[in-house]
Each structure stands twice: as structure tokens, then as C-alpha cells.
Structure 1
Amino acid sequence: MIRFENVGLRYGMGPEILRDVSFSIPQRSFQFLSGPSGAGKTSLLRLLFLSLKPTRGLINVFGRDRTSISRADLPLFRRRIGIVFQDFRLLDHMTTYENVGLPLRVRGRSEASYRGDVIELLKWVGLGDRMHAMPPVLSGGEKQRVAIARALIEQPEILLADEPTGNVDPPLARRLLRLFIELNRLGTAVVIATHDLALMEQVDARRMILSDGRLDIHD
């Protein structure tokens, strides 16, 4: 669904953050993206989410060259790619329910058309009893699950997660991992950026390791 060929990225006139990165994200695949802090994991996720353009190289997204996708068409492609940010990016003045339904509301959907989907999804991530809670009173793990539910509400074909277990204890990390595995079983391709080796050892999945701007792949 997404293919990188010899992709390079630099910010301004600085050195290349990513160099000659080549890989693909097949349908229904599951992969971990790892590497030391500052290796470029978040930058690579931003390229996957189409919020950055590469400095050089080819990125093909759902059969289209990245350079041929206009700014007006970008939202259509991003709806097919869900992302869970490391800092959650929840809106504190909205309830859990409202945060999850926001992407559909922004698209112009009526609440009546998506209310059932939001409630079902919140139950699926274990937050059925927290629908009316505001983000400031949620725990870190609950906020993480709200962010996951919001990323899933548009039924993306690919889910990107940036350090999704970085702020939770090991039991909750395992629970979140089970959610990602179940999501993958249902047909969504999953890319998890993490430095948690114990987490990666729990799943037989491809590992993409960034180091010094280059990517090594271990199937």
C-alpha cells in the first residue's frame, strides 16, 4: 500500500535525517519500527502520514506518486491512514466520546450517523464507562486508548503508532499490544514505532531498525 524507494529527508540546510530508505507496507502486515532516540522514527512516521515531503526519492501511496497528490487531495489519502501521536493530542474541553467522534464530525457527518460506531469502538478499547469523562481526569493509559479509538474511527487501512506504550506500565502495554494485534487480524496494516524490546519480542513481526539515518529490515 505504501512503498519507499531511496528516500532521503533533511530539514532546511541541515544534514540528512534519513538516507536511502527503501521498504514497503503490504496489506494486512504488522511491523515494528525501532532505533535509538533521534534516529528519525517520528520523521519516518510523518512521511508515512503524508505530513512531510521527502527531500529526494520516491514514495508511492495507494498507487499514487506522492509528488502527484495535491494539497486538496491529501485529506482523502490521510483518511486511509490512522495515526496515534506520542502526545495523544486530545482536546481537553471535549469528552472522550466527542474526541473520538471529532474526525467524523469534521467531515460533516451527523452525530446520529456515527454515535453507535463511537460507542462500540470505545467499548472495544475498554472505555465504555468513560465516554463522558474529560481528558484531564483520564489516566495516561486511558488517554492512549482514546487516541487509538480516534485513529480507528475512520476505519483506516494502515495504523501508525508512535511509542504507544511509552507512558504506561507493562500490563497495560500488553493490553494495548493485544488491541493492535486484534486490529491487524481484522485487516488493518499496523506500524508501531517503539524502543521497547520486550514489547517487540511478544509478536512475530517484521522489525525495521533505523540507525544513523539508514533502515535495516529483519523479517
Structure 2
Amino acid sequence: MIRFENVGLRYGMGPEILKDLTFSIEPQSFQFLTGPSGAGKTSLLRLLFLSLRPTRGLISAFGTDTSRVTKSQLPALRRRIGVVFQDFRLLDHLTTYENVALPHRVAGKMEADYRSDVIDLLKWVGLGDRMHVMPPVLSGGEKQRAAIARALITRPEVLLADEPTGNVDAPLARRLLRLFIELNRLGTSVLIATHDLHLLEQVNARHLVLHDGRMIVDE
């Protein structure tokens, strides 16, 4: 679904922070991305989300060479990818419900077509009684769950999650992991960037490790 071939990345005239990355996200795959702080995990996620172009190498997404995609064509590709950012990126002037429903609203769908799905998902992540609250009132863990729900609401073909359990307690982390696993069983490819080694022990999944800008793949 997404393939990297000899991809390198540098910012400006600085040194390469990602070097010769060759790997792929296959349909219905589940994998973890780990590595020390500063290894380039967030930059790699930005490349995967097509919000950043590589300095060299080829990235193909859903059979399309992204180097040949115009700015007007990018949104259609990116809508097929769900992403959970580490800084949440919720809109403070919208309620929790409205933040989660936003991808459907942007796509021009009628509320009657998605309202029940949004409510069900908010209940599943434990925010059923917080759907009409504005983000500034939410705790860090609640914001994290709202961001996850927003990423999942469109049932993306690929889900990228940057430390999705970083602000929740252990029981909720396990519940969210089960949600990712179920989403994967329904056909979504999942990649989770994490420092939480306990997550790695709970799923038999491929392990991608970034070290000094290079990728080590542990099948």
C-alpha cells in the first residue's frame, strides 16, 4: 500500500536524518516502529502521511508514484490514511463530537449518515459522556482518545499512530490496542510508533527499528 525505495531525507543543507529506507506497508499488516528519541520516527511518519517529500528515493502510495502527484491530487491520497498525531491537533472551538466528525464534514457528508458511527466510536473509547465538551476541558488522556477516534472514523486503509497510548493508563492502553487490532482485522493496515515495550509484547507483529537514520526490520 505504501512502499519506500532507497528513501533519504535531510532538512535544508543539514545531514541526512533518514538514510536508504527500503520497506513497505502491506495490505492488512500490523507493525510497530521504535527507536531512540531523535532517530527520525516523526519525520518518517510525515513521509508516510505524504505531508513531507523525501530528499531522494521513491515513495509510492496505493500504486502511485508520489513524486508525480500534484498538490491538488495529494488530498485524495491522504484521505486514505488515518493519522494520530502526538500533539493531538484537536480544534478548540469544536466539541469532541465535532472534532471526531470533522473528516466526514470536510468530505461533504450529511450528518445523518455518520452521527451514529461517531457516537458509537466515542462510547467505545470512553468519551460517551464527553462528546459535547470542548478540548480545553479534556484531560490529556481524553484528548488522546478523541484524536484516535477522529483518525478511525473514516475507516482508513492505513492507520499511522504516533505514541497513541502515551497519555493513558495501562488498562486503557490495552483497550486502545484491542481497537487497533480489531481495525486491522477489518482490513486496515496499522503502524504504531511507540516507546512502550509492553505494547510490543502483546501483539505478534513486525517490528521496525530506526537507528542512526537507518531501518532495521525484525520480522
Would you call these one fold, judging by a TM-score over 0.5? yes
Amino acid at match of 1:99: N
User: Corresponding residue for 2:51?
Assistant: 51
1:215 matches 2:188: no
* Higher alpha-carbon deviation: 180-189 or 44-53: 180-189
* Higher alpha-carbon deviation: 61-70 or 167-176: 167-176
Q: Deviations over 1:68-101 (max 9, x none)?
A: 1111011100110000000111112211110011
C-alpha contact 1:25 1:189 (8 A) present in aligned 2: yes
1:106 matches 2:100: no
2:109 is paired with a residue whose SS is coil
User: Corresponding residue for 2:75?
Assistant: 75
2:82 and 2:156 map into 1 onto residues whose CA distance is 5
1:87 matches 2:92: no
User: Corresponding residue for 1:197?
Assistant: 197
Amino acid at match of 2:170: P
C-alpha contact 1:141 1:172 (8 A) present in aligned 2: no
2:141 and 2:28 map into 1 onto residues whose CA distance is 26
* Count of aligned pairs: 219
2:198 and 2:119 map into 1 onto residues whose CA distance is 32
User: Corresponding residue for 2:126?
Assistant: 126
Q: Deviations over 1:101-141 (max 9, x none)?
A: 11111222222232222122222323222211221222222
User: Corresponding residue for 1:115?
Assistant: 115
Structure 1: unaligned runs, 5 residues or longer:
none
Identity %: 77
User: Corresponding residue for 1:158?
Assistant: 158
2:43 and 2:108 map into 1 onto residues whose CA distance is 30
Amino acid at match of 2:16: E
User: Corresponding residue for 1:21?
Assistant: 21
TM-score by length of 2: 0.96
Structure 2: unaligned runs, 5 residues or longer:
none
1:198 and 1:11 map into 2 onto residues whose CA distance is 33
Amino acid at match of 1:111: E
1:52 and 1:106 map into 2 onto residues whose CA distance is 22
1:105 and 1:51 map into 2 onto residues whose CA distance is 21
Shift of 1:191: 0.3
The CA RMSD measured in Å over matched residues stands at 1.1
Q: Deviations over 1:163-186 (max 9, x none)?
A: 111122222222221111111111
